A and B are shown apart, each in its own frame.
Chain A
């Protein structure tokens, strides 16, 4: 069974609109961490935001926020006021606490295209 599921292979969003990228996860650990990365067409992997399973508040980093719903096991990325430069692949990843080797489990990604 997949541990990280990103159900949107691709999305088109109008510039300046908010966008939500979906991520659901599966783990039996009580302690885990969730990450979002951005990969623009240039290819580099850029860390965006992190949410710990015990964090009571949703993580925010500038225009990025993470809508963390623990009971539903979802960790959706919200980008407010989208910009053309937000066009990229976005990956959700999880680190389980029982894995002491820092490994991340990755989703297949969502390709986001911002339309002018």
Chain B
């Protein structure tokens, strides 16, 4: 029972590089989302999806893209990494109950 799987766990990027954070869930949840967590702050919503083919922006979407081609997968793309995107990123999914979180990706942009 994998739940929500995020890869990679750690990543270091140089400014201007692009990359994709992967997220997959096996619970058939229609809702998936990406959050970032910065020191001393709660979670801030980047993008979310309420089903395959449907995505929308959250509180802090700039610099990130998402797509939802399947129910299971919800990748987050950093288009041109900036030091301000240094953070811990969480993917989460739910039906109508609580959010189920992945274990997070710690991203450092130098």
Contact = CB atoms under 8 A, between A and B. Distances in A.
A56 interface: no
Contacts of A108: 40-42
A100 to B, nearest CB: 8
A103 B45 contact: yes
B103 A101 contact: no
B66 to A, nearest CB: 14
Q: Chain B: interface residue count, which band?
A: 20 to 34
Interface of B is mostly: strand
Given A101-B50, A102-B31, A47 B103 contact: no
Contacts of B45: 103
A101 B98 contact: no
A18 interface: no
7 contacts: A4-B42, A47-B100, A101-B31, A101-B50, A101-B56, A103-B58, A107-B42
Interface of A: 4, 35, 43-45, 47, 50, 91, 93, 101-104, 106-109
